[in-house]
């Protein structure tokens, strides 16, 4: 880069910054000295790139170096402020719209192969006959073996109406399969399932807040209400990482009066300070509501759950939510790049911000800490119940978290559950409907036979603790004295682990059941199949059936003690049973 080009870059940047500074001044914000600092550091960066390009021992890649620098810079801010290069813009568009051009299938990396995990129902992949377990060997004449998940995913996506040619290797077939698939616009539903459970209780699973989420939810609820005499509603947003703020507001609007504040945002710039009110007449102000949440319910999910809680319109049940109280905007950059930037914090009706991590300060280790208890403040719901900021949404009724065993996790992560499901589907043309299908003793016995020649090592928490004890004993010179006892303990653990497939049979059953159901009935089948055995869902049904307790929770009868903070003492569902 010549000095003239550097000069022009600085001048242009200075012009851009002068406009920026003028906007800041007009908004009443004070920015002393920032202009000089910005220009100085841009000049330093330009000089640095110039010297590297002319003097470095090897040829540099300016684009790659710049990307590394940008990523490192943004990483120092928060995890949600990201640079989006032109070749990734489509992926970020999918996050907000729920749509993309492609074949419509989930894929995963399994060794040197990229494998079809699950075709979407009605997708081009399904219509072309692709099945879970199919290995992608070639794409458009190019070898796909040893390609990464990202490389294959990029090629599979494309403009609707274009073709992609695949060569597939399928288990139990000696010859490869050739598939020509016409890409389509793939739309992922925000509401994959809505139905009734028992005694007039409706259930709606909400997995995202992309465009039209509120329209999908509204139509699902209207259909359920027209066809059933509803006595309660369960909204399941467990695992829902959020999406568009306005969609959360519009869903809350279905159950609260017009003109109520649902969420407000506050940022550095005045135009980011906004209040979002309900703008339409509600659909139902009377139906009892339970919202299911967990530690992965975040962002827009927390706005929905938090506003319903703060307005005392329903009961929140589950585990503490993620704690993301930040708002992002996507802004265009030059050369078709974009940036997702955190522009504000949001506050739910009680006035609290549920952001759990303080990204404005780093600790001595260079990482970020949670908001300390000393800074957590108490707020009040509409009817005076105590709620707290700084740590996600604390449920009104806490449900026990289902912890998966190490052996079940190992079977899943090693794709042994998946590989067995592939073999099962090849030898079973049909199975019972999802609300009737179960893993029988015969199926489980067949699975155990399948595992006999498979390796799947896993380490239990007890083994980790034992190894830590060995290391500490060696440091403190106690090891020789207790080595025999430690070895005996290790032997006992090894023997006990041999029974884990029986001890944790229920968990393995559930994973097998979900994998097999997906192959015949897709995502909807998995949800239906899980309804009978979901303990948290059963707890929610119990709360709705116990009208006295439901009303008592909303009246503050089961509230936390005055001195409690998020995560200390929470009402257990069966504490008074």
Question: What percentage of the chain reaches a pLDDT higher than 70?
Answer: 90
pLDDT band, residue 564 (cuts 50/70/90): very low
HEC assignment per residue over 128-165: CCCCCCCEEEEECCEECCCCCHHHHHHHHCCCCCCEEE
Beta bridge partners of 341: 329
- Phi and psi based region of residue 4 (left: phi greater than 0; alpha: psi -120 to 50; beta: remaining): alpha
- Please state, rounded to an integer, the average pLDDT across all residues of the chain: 88
- Phi and psi based region of residue 434 (left: phi greater than 0; alpha: psi -120 to 50; beta: remaining): alpha
447-493 residue pLDDT tens: 999 999 988 777 777 778 888 888 888 888 888 888 888 888 877 76
How far, in Å, CA of 246 to CA of 297, rounded? 17
How far, in Å, CA of 305 to CA of 293, rounded? 8
| Cα-Cα end-to-end distance for the chain | 75
pLDDT score recorded for residue 496: 67
For the beta carbon of residue 280, count every other beta carbon within 10 angstroms.
Answer: 12
CB 279 within 8 A of CB 302: no
pTM summary value? 0.85
pLDDT band, residue 31 (cuts 50/70/90): low
Buried b (16+ CB within 10 A) or exposed e, 559-570: bbeeeebbeeeb
Is the pLDDT reported for residue 114 higher than 90? yes
pLDDT band, residue 291 (cuts 50/70/90): very high
pLDDT score recorded for residue 577: 31
Nearest one of 253, 171, 270 to 215, comparing CA atoms: 253
pLDDT score recorded for residue 556: 85
pLDDT score recorded for residue 247: 97
Is the pLDDT reported for residue 27 higher than 70? no
Q: Which range among 75-89, 334-348, 510-524 has the greatest average pLDDT?
A: 510-524
CB 185 within 8 A of CB 161: no
Give the helix, strand, coil percentages of the chain, each rounded to 5.
Answer: 40, 20, 40
pLDDT band, residue 565 (cuts 50/70/90): very low
For the beta carbon of residue 144, count every other beta carbon within 10 angstroms.
Answer: 21
CB 360 within 8 A of CB 327: no
pLDDT score recorded for residue 490: 78
Range of lowest pLDDT (6-15, 201-210, 450-459): 6-15
Q: At a CB cut-off of 8 Å and minimum separation 6, what does 41 contact? A: none
How far, in Å, CA of 575 to CA of 298, rounded? 28
How far, in Å, CA of 503 to CA of 506, rounded? 8
Instruction: Name residue, tokens 């739910």.
Output: 348
Range of lowest pLDDT (80-84, 222-226, 526-530): 80-84
The dihedral built from the CA positions of residue 26, 342, 211 and 156, taken in this order, carries a sign that is: positive
How far, in Å, CA of 277 to CA of 263, rounded? 7
pLDDT score recorded for residue 495: 63
pLDDT band, residue 297 (cuts 50/70/90): very high
Pairing of strands 184-187, 99-102: antiparallel
pLDDT score recorded for residue 67: 87
Report which DSSP code applies to 532.
Answer: G
388-442 residue pLDDT tens: 998 899 999 999 777 888 899 999 999 999 999 999 999 999 999 999 999 999 9
Report which DSSP code applies to 231.
Answer: S
pLDDT score recorded for residue 381: 96
> What value, to the nearest 5°, has the Cα angle with vertex 92 and ends 88 and 94?
120
Buried b (16+ CB within 10 A) or exposed e, 22-45: eebeeeeeeeeeeeeebeeebeee
pLDDT band, residue 210 (cuts 50/70/90): very high
The residue ranking higher by pLDDT, 22 or 95, is 95
Q: What is the mean pLDDT of residues 60-70?
A: 88
Nearest one of 54, 53, 75 to 64, comparing CA atoms: 53
219-278 residue pLDDT tens: 999 999 999 999 999 999 999 999 999 999 999 999 999 999 999 999 988 989 999 999
pLDDT score recorded for residue 221: 98
pLDDT score recorded for residue 460: 76
């Amino acid at each position: 880069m010549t000095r003239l080009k550097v000069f022009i870059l600085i001048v242009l940047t200075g012009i851009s910054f002068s406009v920026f500074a003028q906007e800041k001044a007009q908004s009443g914000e004070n920015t002393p000295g920032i202009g000089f600092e910005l220009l100085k550091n841009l000049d330093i960066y330009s000089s640095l790139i110039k010297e590297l390009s002319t003097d470095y021992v090897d040829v540099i890649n300016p684009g790659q170096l710049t990307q590394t620098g940008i990523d490192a810079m943004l990483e120092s801010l928060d995890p949600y402020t990201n640079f989006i290069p032109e070749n990734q813009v489509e992926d970020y568009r999918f996050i907000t719209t729920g749509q993309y051009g492609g074949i419509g299938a989930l894929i995963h990396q399994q060794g040197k192969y990229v494998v079809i995990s699950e075709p979407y129902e009605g997708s081009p992949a399904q219509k072309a006959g692709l099945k879970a377990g199919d290995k992608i060997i070639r794409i458009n004449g190019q070898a796909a073996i040893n390609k990464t998940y990202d490389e294959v995913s990029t090629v599979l996506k494309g403009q609707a109406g274009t073709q992609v040619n695949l060569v597939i290797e399928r288990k139990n077939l000696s010859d490869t399969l050739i598939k020509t698939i016409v890409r389509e616009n793939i739309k992922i539903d925000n509401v994959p399932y809505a139905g009734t459970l028992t005694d007039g209780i409706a259930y709606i699973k909400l997995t995202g807040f992309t465009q039209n989420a509120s329209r999908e939810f509204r139509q699902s609820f209207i259909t359920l209400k027209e066809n059933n005499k509803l006595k309660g509603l369960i909204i399941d947003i467990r695992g829902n990482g959020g999406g568009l703020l306005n969609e959360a507001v519009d869903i809350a609007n279905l159950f609260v009066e017009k003109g109520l504040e649902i969420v407000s945002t506050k940022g550095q710039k005045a135009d980011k300070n906004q209040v979002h009110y309900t703008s339409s007449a509600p659909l139902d102000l009377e139906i009892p509501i339970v919202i299911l949440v967990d530690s992965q319910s975040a962002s827009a999910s927390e706005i929905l759950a938090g506003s319903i809680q703060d307005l005392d319109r329903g009961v929140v049940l589950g585990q503490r939510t993620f704690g993301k109280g930040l708002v992002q905007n996507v802004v265009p950059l030059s050369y078709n790049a974009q940036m997702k930037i955190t522009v504000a914090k949001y506050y739910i009706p009680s006035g609290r911000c549920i952001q759990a991590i303080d990204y404005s300060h780093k600790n001595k280790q260079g990482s970020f800490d949670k908001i300390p208890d000393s800074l957590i403040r108490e707020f009040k719901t509409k009817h005076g119940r105590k709620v707290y900021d700084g740590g996600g949404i604390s449920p009104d009724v806490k449900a026990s978290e289902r912890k998966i065993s190490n052996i079940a996790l190992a079977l899943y992560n090693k794709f042994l559950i998946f590989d067995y499901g592939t073999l099962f589907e090849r030898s079973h043309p049909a199975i019972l409907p999802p609300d009737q299908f179960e893993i029988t003793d015969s199926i489980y016995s067949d699975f155990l036979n399948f595992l006999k020649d498979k390796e799947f090592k896993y380490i239990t928490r007890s083994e980790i603790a034992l190894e830590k004890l060995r290391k500490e004993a060696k440091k403190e010179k106690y090891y020789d004295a207790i080595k025999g006892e430690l070895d005996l303990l290790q032997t006992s653990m090894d023997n006990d682990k041999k029974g884990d497939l029986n001890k944790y049979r229920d968990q393995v059953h559930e994973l097998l059941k979900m994998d097999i159901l997906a192959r015949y009935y897709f995502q909807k089948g998995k949800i239906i199949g899980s309804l009978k055995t979901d303990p948290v869902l059963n707890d929610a049904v119990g709360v709705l059936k116990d009208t006295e307790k439901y009303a008592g929770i909303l009246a503050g009868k089961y509230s936390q003690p005055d001195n409690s903070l998020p995560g200390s003492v929470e009402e257990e569902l069966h504490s008074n049973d």
